[in-house]
Structure 1
Amino acid sequence: MHTSSAQSQTIAAISTPAGSGGIGIIRMSGDEALQVLQRIFKPRVSDCSFASHHLYYGHIVDSATGRTLDEVLAVYMRAPHTYTREDVVEVHCHGSFLVLQNVLELILAQGVALAAAGEFTKRAFLNGRIDLTQAEAVIDILSARTRKGVDLAQEQLSGALYQRIDRIRKSLAQMRAVIEVAIDFPDEDVEIVDHSHIIRQLQNEVAEPLERLLKNVDQGKIYREGISVVIAGLPNVGKSSLLNTLLEEERALVTEIPGTTRDTIEEYLDVHGMPVRLIDTAGIRDNAGKVEEMGIQRAKSLINEADLVLFMLDGSRDVSVEDLKLYTAVSHKPMLVVVNKIDLNKVDKHFIDPLQTIAPVVHISAGKQLGIDELKDAIFRRVASGADQWEEQGCAPNVRHKQALLKAHGACLRLRDAFEVGATSDLIAVDLQECLDQLGDIVGETTTEDILDVIFEQFCLGK
């Protein structure tokens, strides 16, 4: 479905984030990019040749008014050696949003269209520079919250997932060639299709690789999207202190007054490469004031939505009836029991020890920063079981890939059964083509336009 030129319209957008900065970049892509640059850019040197991939110093000038909009560096990149495989121009301005907006409006006034979200990357895909898994990896790079997330996305961008899918597709293509011979010569006495060999090939080269990819989807989702972890407990057990300690900054106000935290505080934490959305909630207790009660209700709602609950106890005092009541209320969730203030040496072992058969128990001192690494390890083990083995695979299929992999795997199993019962070659060819089509959908060769639109709408403008 790739084309030599995805679009005829030249497009432009601001490609750097909103806000002030040292440099802001406007990007153009399309056949008219160089001509537009020549109309608005006044180079310092009079004999500017606009050699490809060279930076030129000059000014952006509105010829209609003679007004200079900015002092810039401009670069022209000739197709096909560009991000989109089209002619590309970048104008490097000062990083003021108003300056960038003025320059962009001048470019659009030349008949250039404003790029849609992800349109530059979509053109790179449609023009055959990258496959769809690599395009999706660009999204993951832009949205990654941890270094591990970036590393996994970079591996996919380099073609790791495509290569694994391509090996499976090549094996299926070889089988299809054999089947097509059997269909074309149905009356031959010699058995053209060696069923036992193809059954082994299906299992070793198709079914098992698909199963390994499917096994990696959930772990890939964890590194890509992260998890939500709610810190829950009675007032003054140390929830805000734990948040501050994990983040290594004074993010939450800590006092000895019960009910200090009345709303939720959310921050992201990197736990062994896994993005953790850490949520500090209001202490849950009876007889709270109206405002505090609103925070308590929000805390209960977030607990129900969380992937993991850190149920905190104050290790400096005996476990209370209120602790037991709250524990019962959150016990339906995946949980770690976090016993805080262990430096005060008064842990209620009669209550804590039986809990260890239900949920892992971690002893810490948020104030003294004791046991924090052990807590991070426990969070990782509780949520990302099997992730260590998966990391070696270097591949992170996403949810869209999962659906196609499941359908391809189902077609593979039907194909194997068909060979085992001696089905006719034309029936076998149907399931074989279904398997190929689903794998083609992952890399973008059979993906429908509406699915492509959904994928590229996830991008920011200018990418």
Structure 2
Amino acid sequence: MDTTIAAISTAVSASGIGIIRISGPESMDVISRIYRSKGGKKKIKEAETHTIHYGYIYDGEEEVDEVLVMIMRAPRTFTGEDTVEIDCHGGVYAMNRVLETVLKNGAKTAQPGEFTKRAFLNGRLDLSQAEAVMDVIQAKNDYALKSSMNQLKGSVQKAIKNIRGDLLYEIAYIESALDDPEHISLDGYPQRLMRIVEKEEKELQHLLKTASDGKIIREGIQTVILGKPNAGKSSLLNILVGENKAIVTDIAGTTRDILEEYITLNGITLKMVDTAGIRETQDVVEKIGVSRAREMAKKADLILYVVDSSTSLDENDEEIISLLRDKKAIVIYNKTDLEPVVDMEELKTRIQHPVIPVSAREETGIRELEEEIKAMFFGGNISFNDQVYITNARHKEALEEANASLLMVKQSIELGMPEDFFSIDLTNACESLGRITGESVGEDLVNEIFSKFCMGK
């Protein structure tokens, strides 16, 4: 924390503008050694905070690039330290040349995530907000971006802080009563604590219920396309992706392996998985593909079962129908442009999953499919006004541990255990919740979290 760090904070590729960020106690000294204003008037080290200056970066007497320099003085900066950002031309060589000049004049290369890590250590962000920074960068859809922005604004922090604050009050009360029983009575306290614990337990369970939606918001819906050969699976994938990713022929068994593509429908990311047609085969390679299709179906969040409406159902369809049990699934009643052989109403009654008529050839029914997927996973609507979504697996694990500790408190109350038993489990719950916000985490965990960040952030 006593060093001054620097890194390129934009993508290292040809672009209009590149940004080199400097942060630390010597940031103003570093920039004053390499920056010259066009008019050569005011020294940049004396510039007011949050001002932008036009000039040049020099390496000794060599002019490196024409730049804009932003001066931001502590503590009103992202890291909480003196910070300088150099906006230079976005060529790869130009950015590296400016960074090289910065490093030659007193800064050290920043580690991945070190700027955000300093923001956390300086109290500018809690750990859940810091993690949300990376989630914003990696967001694949509108919902993921909104959820990450909510967390960056402190939605998770606020929810956890409220629960943790209530529990800390009860711990302090118990400890005070045990230290000073003459003035603080615990008569009737277990019954009062039970009501408080049940209230906080409901809050934790409410947050945990959002974790499945949160995982889908962040990572997308694992969507597996199943069907017998030539049902139109690959054609459906190509329509949804918007380009010919999968080979489509009239030859049964063309798709032999797993093909994965990410798409966004109505703001929801789907990880689409096209699979080999389900059938009995003697072909060794195709047999492996069919086996993989069955395995992918078991792991799927959603199965799209493509039925060729122009051919009768057979034993291969029967196997696929068995794979749909206890799974979220939508039946794609495909090839509606041909004379139907399979009765759609009969299919609805038998399978008891939504059935959407589609023609992959004529590209009809796709909008209805999109609406059905959205309704199936989010009840047709996702609100970020007052809803907190748990999207981080680390947060979910900590919430589960806190919930288990509160269950232990309830059991201790029901068994009539001494009050110090309550305090132990309440403290464990607080420790678990503190890991989410960073109030009770070790250095190793902090380093591990920030090591996953991109360079320059």
TM-score by length of 2: 0.88
Q: Which amino acid aligns with 2:388?
A: C
- Tell me, yes or no, if structure 1 residue 91 matches structure 2 residue 108: no
More deviation, 190-199/349-358 = 349-358
- Tell me, yes or no, if structure 1 residue 349 matches structure 2 residue 343: yes
- Tell me, yes or no, if structure 1 residue 449 matches structure 2 residue 446: no
More deviation, 294-303/38-47 = 294-303
Find 2:16's aligned residue among 15, 19, 22: 22
- Tell me, yes or no, if structure 1 residue 374 matches structure 2 residue 368: yes
Q: Which amino acid aligns with 2:424?
A: V
More deviation, 258-267/413-422 = 258-267
Displacement after TM superposition at 1:461 (Å): 0.9
Displacement after TM superposition at 1:429 (Å): 1.9
Q: 1:350 to 1:15 in 2, by over 3 A?
A: closer
Find 2:170's aligned residue among 162, 168, 175: 175
- In structure 2, the residue matched to 1:166 is 161
Q: 1:368 to 1:22 in 2, by over 3 A?
A: same
Find 1:114's aligned residue among 104, 109, 124: 109
Q: Which amino acid aligns with 1:105?
A: E
Instruction: Give the 3-state SS of the residue equivalent to 2:423 in structure 1.
Output: helix
Output the CA distance in 1 between the equivalents of 2:288 and 2:66. Answer: 53
- In structure 1, the residue matched to 2:38 is 44
Output the CA distance in 1 between the equivalents of 2:201 and 2:287. Answer: 54
- In structure 2, the residue matched to 1:395 is 388
Output the CA distance in 2 between the equivalents of 1:9 and 1:126. Answer: 14
- In structure 2, the residue matched to 1:435 is 429
Output the CA distance in 2 between the equivalents of 1:174 and 1:332. Answer: 44
Output the CA distance in 2 between the equivalents of 1:297 and 1:107. Answer: 56
Q: 1:136 to 1:356 in 2, by over 3 A?
A: farther
Number of positions where the alignment pairs a residue of Structure 1 with one of Structure 2 = 453
Output the CA distance in 2 between the equivalents of 1:461 and 1:298. Answer: 37
Conserved? CA contact 2:307–2:331, under 8 Å: yes
Any unmatched runs of 5+ in structure 2?
Answer: none
Output the CA distance in 1 between the equivalents of 2:278 and 2:85. Answer: 54
Map 1:177-256 onto structure 2 (within 5 A): 177-187=172-182, 191=186, 194-204=189-199, 206-256=200-250
- In structure 1, the residue matched to 2:455 is 461
RMSD: 3.0
Q: 1:95 to 1:329 in 2, by over 3 A?
A: same
Displacement after TM superposition at 1:418 (Å): 3.0
Displacement after TM superposition at 1:60 (Å): 1.9
Find 1:131's aligned residue among 115, 126, 130: 126
Displacement after TM superposition at 1:336 (Å): 3.0
More deviation, 188-197/208-217 = 188-197
Instruction: Give the 3-state SS of the residue equivalent to 1:343 in structure 2.
Output: coil
Displacement after TM superposition at 1:131 (Å): 0.7
Instruction: Give the 3-state SS of the residue equivalent to 2:76 in structure 1.
Output: coil
Conserved? CA contact 1:29–1:120, under 8 Å: yes
Instruction: Give the 3-state SS of the residue equivalent to 1:342 in structure 2.
Output: coil
Displacement after TM superposition at 1:132 (Å): 0.9
Q: 1:92 to 1:263 in 2, by over 3 A?
A: farther
Output the CA distance in 1 between the equivalents of 2:209 and 2:337. Answer: 42
- In structure 1, the residue matched to 2:274 is 280
More deviation, 176-185/75-84 = 176-185
Output the CA distance in 1 between the equivalents of 2:451 and 2:341. Answer: 52
TM-score by length of 1: 0.87
Displacement after TM superposition at 1:145 (Å): 0.6
Q: 1:439 to 1:102 in 2, by over 3 A?
A: same
Instruction: Give the 3-state SS of the residue equivalent to 2:387 in structure 1.
Output: coil
More deviation, 287-296/96-105 = 287-296
Output the CA distance in 2 between the equivalents of 1:329 and 1:186. Answer: 63
- Tell me, yes or no, if structure 1 residue 313 matches structure 2 residue 307: yes
Q: 1:238 to 1:411 in 2, by over 3 A?
A: same
Instruction: Give the 3-state SS of the residue equivalent to 2:231 in structure 1.
Output: coil
Conserved? CA contact 1:317–1:346, under 8 Å: yes
Q: How big is each residue's C-alpha offset from its partner over 1:24-62, in whole Å with a ceiling of 9 and x where there is no partner?
A: 111111111121112222221212343322221222221
Displacement after TM superposition at 1:135 (Å): 0.8
Instruction: Give the 3-state SS of the residue equivalent to 1:89 in structure 2.
Output: strand
Q: How big is each residue's C-alpha offset from its partner over 1:131-170, in whole Å with a ceiling of 9 and x where there is no partner?
A: 1111111121111111011111111111111111111122
Identity percentage of aligned residues: 40
More deviation, 111-120/418-427 = 418-427
Q: 1:217 to 1:11 in 2, by over 3 A?
A: same
Conserved? CA contact 2:6–2:20, under 8 Å: yes
More deviation, 295-304/85-94 = 295-304
Q: 1:8 to 1:345 in 2, by over 3 A?
A: same
Output the CA distance in 1 between the equivalents of 2:255 and 2:335. Answer: 19
Output the CA distance in 2 between the equivalents of 1:286 and 1:10. Answer: 65
